Amino acid sequence: MIHDTSDPTQQPDPAAPDASVPEPSARNLRGQDVDPASIPAEEDEEARLPEPVDDSSEFEPEGTLAVGRAAIERAVKLAPTSPGVYRMLNAANDVLYVGKAKSVKKRLASYARPTGQVARIARMIAATVNVEIISTATETEALLLEANLIKQLRPRFNVLLRDDKSFPYILITGDHWAPQILKHRGAQTRPGRYFGPFASVGAVNRTITALQRAFLVRSCTDAFFESRTRPCLLYQIKRCAGPCTGEIDFPGYTELVREASDFLSGRSRLVKQELAGEMEKASQDLEFERAALYRDRLAALSAIQSQQGINPRTVEEADVFAIHQEGGYSCVEVFFFRTGQNWGNRAYFPRADKAMPPEEVLGSFLAQFYDDKPPPKLILLSHRIDDQELLGEALGVKAGYKVEVATPQRGEKKELVAHALTNAREALGRKLADTATQTRLLQGLSAALGLPRVPQRIEVYDNSHIQGTNAVGAMIVAGPEGFLKNQYRKFNIKSEGLAPGDDYGMMREVLERRFKRLINDAAEGKKPADDSVPQWPDLVIIDGGQGQLNAAREIFESLNLSQISLIAVAKGPDRDAGRETLFMPDRPSIKLEPRDPVLYFIQRLRDEAHRFVIGSHRKLRKKDIREAGLQEIPGIGPSRKRALLHHFGTLKEIERASVADLGKVPGVSAESARKIFDFFHPGNG
C-alpha cells in the first residue's frame, strides 16, 4: 500500500478507485515515433536507479492551468467533507495522481487556488480534466486504499516503489513428523513457523547452511526423504541428523528442531549455553567425539552471528528506514532486525520528483512498502513524516497488533538510524557512479556504430536448442541503469514447420512475436506495467552473423520498423572473444579494437543474453526429462502429469507408488491409477 504525503498546499494527492476506469493508455509506442527519452525503472541489486522525474519536457502540460482548475472546481462542488481517496485523470483517462485526505473537499479546493502551487503540482493541474472520488469510513482506511491504488495504477505524479518483490523467509515446516528447514517466498500457507523477512536470498541461504551445521535439521524434500534407504551425503558431512533412515530417533530430532526454532526466535544465548553445557558434560564423560560435535555446532552459531554485523541490545523487532538525496535522486536504505538479530539490509531507489523533500518521499515510500508485507512492531525513521501516527495506526489495523512509527533522537535506536543513513549515502554514491559509467558506454556505443541517437533501450536476442529440441528464444534488455531484468522475456519456439536446428527460422519467429505484440498493444492503447521504461528499443542486437541479420531485417521490413537500429554480433575465429565482427544493414561490417570499452560492453550484452537463454533452455529440457517417463501412458494428459509430479516429486517415486497412493493424487481416478501402476509394473496385474 502506498501513502503519498503530497498535499497541494502541502502537496497534493490524486484520485479514487473504480474498476470501470480503463488503464492509462501507452504513449509514443508507434514503431516509427519512438521517443528514447524515458524514466528508467529501479531494479536492485536489487534495484536500478531511476531518472529524476521533474523535467518539464518529460511532463509537458496537456492543457492549461485555467482548464485544470475549472475541472477541479467542478469536482469540489460534489466532493464530501469526509475522508476519502481521489484520482486525477487527463483527457486520455490516464490516472495522473492518487491521493487521500481527511476532508476530500478541502484537499481538492486547495488545488483550485490561483497561486501558490509548485511547478510539479501546476503541471499536474494543467493536465487534469476529471477527478474521481471514493469515500471511506476513516482516514486510516483512506490511507490503505490510496497505497493499494498507487501500486496498482502507478500514476506518474506519485512516488513509485519499483521493486515490489516479496522478501524471503526461513520456514521450519509443521506438516511432517521430521520437520524440514527451507527458504520460502510468497504466501505463508504451508503449516510451520516462518522466520524473517531476510533482505536477500543470499542471506537466507547462508543462514540455512549454518543452521544445518548447528542443528542438523534436514533440508531435503518430503519425497526425497521418504525414498531414502540409507543416509545421504549431508549426513556424512554432518549437516543432517539422518532422521530418514533412523540415525536419530524422533525425540532426539524433535529436540534439534526446538533448538533451531529457539535460536531463530531470539533465544540464541540460551541455546548456546545449553550446547556449551552438553559439550562440557560429554568431555567430562570422555565422549570426545560427541563433545567435538557440540563444539562444531557452537562454532556454526557463532558464524551466523558474526555475519549479521550490528546486533542491537535493546531492539527486539524493528525495520529501520533512512533516506538520502543527492543529484536529484533518492535512496532509501532498509535494515531488518528480528529477534534481536540483524537479518540484512537493502537499498531502494524510488522514482520521485527531484524537488520533493526527503520526508515526503519517505512517507509515500513507507505505505507502499508495507502494502503486501507484514510490518514489525517498531518502525524507525531518519526523518519525521507527515501522518506518522496515522501510518502506525493503519499498519496496526492491517497487521492486527500495535505498530509504532518513530523518529528516534538519542540512544541505540538513533545509532541504528545513523548507521542506515550512512549505508544509504554510500549506496546512492555507488549508483550515481555506475550510472555515469553506463551513460558513457552508451554514448560510446552510439558513436562507434553511427547510431542516430544514444540508445535508451537495447534489446539483445539469442536462441538455444539441442538439434532442434527444447528450442527457446530469449530477449534481454539494457538501458542507462544497466540490465533491466524485470523486462527480460523468453519465447518457447512454437512453429511446427521449422527444420530442426533452423536458427534463422527461430529468430524470425521470436522477433515477429515480440514486435507484433508491441504493435498490437500500441494500437489497442494498452499501458505497459512499467511505463517508466521505454517499451520500444532504439537498438536491437542479434547474436549471429550476416544470415541472422538478414532474417531479422526481413521481419523489421515486413512490420515497417525502420526507426530501430539493428546489428548482429558474430564471434571471431575459433569463437575468440575480442575478435567479434559487427554486421549492420547496408553498411560494411566492422571490427572494434580488442581493448575498446565499447567492444567489452557489446560482449557483456551478448554474454548476458547467452546466459539467460541457456538457463531457460535447461529448465525446459529438465522439465521434459522429468515428464518423459509419463509420455507413453494412455489417457494421462499434461494436467495429470503435473499433478503426479507435484505430489510425488520425482518419476522414481511415481514408479514406486502403489495403486492406492496413486489414487490419492488430485484428478487421478481409480481407473487412471491402475493404468499408471500397470504401465510401470507390466507383469504385476
What's the confidence (pLDDT) of residue 121? 85
pLDDT of residue 38 exceeding 70: no
Same domain flag for 392 and 463: no
pLDDT of residue 288 exceeding 70: yes
Distance separating alpha carbons of residues 299 and 210, to the nearest angstrom: 9
pLDDT of residue 530 exceeding 80: no
Mean pLDDT of the chain: 78
Number of domains in the chain: 5
What's the confidence (pLDDT) of residue 43? 35
> DSSP string of 628-682?
HTTTTSTT--HHHHHHHHHHHSSHHHHHH--HHHHHTSTT--HHHHHHHHHHH-T
Same domain flag for 414 and 534: no
Report the CATH number at residue 552.
3.30.420.340
Share of the chain above pLDDT 70, in %: 79
Residue owning grid cell 567435538: 292
Same domain flag for 479 and 585: yes
Distance separating alpha carbons of residues 340 and 660, to the nearest angstrom: 48
Same domain flag for 476 and 560: yes
What's the confidence (pLDDT) of residue 459? 93
What's the confidence (pLDDT) of residue 52? 42
Report the CATH number at residue 634.
1.10.150.20
What's the confidence (pLDDT) of residue 23? 36
What's the confidence (pLDDT) of residue 338? 79
Same domain flag for 124 and 196: no
Q: Does 1 reside within a domain?
A: no
pLDDT of residue 639 exceeding 80: no
pLDDT of residue 585 exceeding 60: yes
Q: Does 132 reside within a domain?
A: yes
What's the confidence (pLDDT) of residue 41? 35
**Mean pLDDT lowest for which of 212-226, 261-275, 403-417, 619-633?**
619-633
Residue owning grid cell 546512492: 428
Report the CATH number at residue 66.
3.40.1440.10
- Among 616, 641, 663, the domain-final residue is 616
Same domain flag for 462 and 604: yes
> DSSP string of 545-576?
-HHHHHHHHHHHHHTT-TTSEEEEEE--GGG-
User: Comparing 194 with 648, which gets the higher pLDDT?
Assistant: 194
pLDDT of residue 34 exceeding 80: no
Q: Does 201 reside within a domain?
A: yes
**Mean pLDDT lowest for which of 229-243, 292-306, 383-397, 592-606?**
292-306
Same domain flag for 290 and 336: no
- Mean pLDDT for 338-360 is 82
pLDDT of residue 157 exceeding 70: yes
Distance separating alpha carbons of residues 101 and 76, to the nearest angstrom: 13
Same domain flag for 323 and 285: no
- Among 153, 181, 215, the domain-final residue is 153
- Among 278, 307, 336, the domain-final residue is 307
What's the confidence (pLDDT) of residue 42? 34
Reported for 306-311, long-range contacts at CB under 8 A and 24+ positions apart, including other chains, are 307/206, 307/210, 308/341, 308/342, 308/343, 309/342, 310/342, 310/416, 310/419, 311/340, 311/341, 311/342
Same domain flag for 594 and 466: yes
Q: Does 9 reside within a domain?
A: no
What's the confidence (pLDDT) of residue 621? 66
What's the confidence (pLDDT) of residue 656? 76
What's the confidence (pLDDT) of residue 540? 93
Same domain flag for 229 and 82: no
Backbone phi, psi, residue 108, to 5°: -65, -35
Q: Are 210 and 300 in contact (CB under 8 A)?
A: yes
Residue owning grid cell 549505508: 423
Q: Are 365 and 161 in contact (CB under 8 A)?
A: yes
Nearest to 306 by CA among 355, 269, 342, 333: 342
Chain-centroid distance of CA 400 in Å reads 26
**Mean pLDDT lowest for which of 27-31, 78-82, 93-97, 282-286?**
27-31
- Mean pLDDT for 565-578 is 75
- Mean pLDDT for 229-241 is 86
Report the CATH number at residue 388.
3.30.420
pLDDT of residue 445 exceeding 70: yes
> DSSP string of 452-498?
SS--S-EEEEEEEEETTEEEEEEEEEEETTEE-GGG-EEEE---TTP
Same domain flag for 668 and 540: no
Residue owning grid cell 523467509: 169
Using pLDDT thresholds of 50, 70 and 90, give the confidence band for residue 312.
low
pLDDT tens column, 175-217: 888 899 988 887 788 888 888 777 777 778 877 887 787 788 8
Cα separation of the two ends of the chain: 59
pLDDT tens column, 124-141: 888 888 888 888 888 888
All residues at 6 or more sequence positions from 232 whose CB lies less than 8 Å from its CB, including other chains: 220, 240, 244
Q: Does 5 reside within a domain?
A: no
What's the confidence (pLDDT) of residue 567? 92
Distance separating alpha carbons of residues 616 and 29, to the nearest angstrom: 28
Q: Does 453 reside within a domain?
A: no
Q: Does 532 reside within a domain?
A: yes
Using pLDDT thresholds of 50, 70 and 90, give the confidence band for residue 3.
very low
| H/E stretch holding 224 | helix 222-227
What's the confidence (pLDDT) of residue 7? 41
Q: By residue range, what is the domain housing residue 663?
A: 629-680
Q: Does 603 reside within a domain?
A: yes
pLDDT tens column, 361-408: 898 888 888 877 788 889 999 999 888 888 888 888 888 888 899 999
- Mean pLDDT for 53-74 is 64
User: Comparing 175 with 634, which gets the higher pLDDT?
Assistant: 175
Same domain flag for 558 and 511: yes
- Mean pLDDT for 1-15 is 38
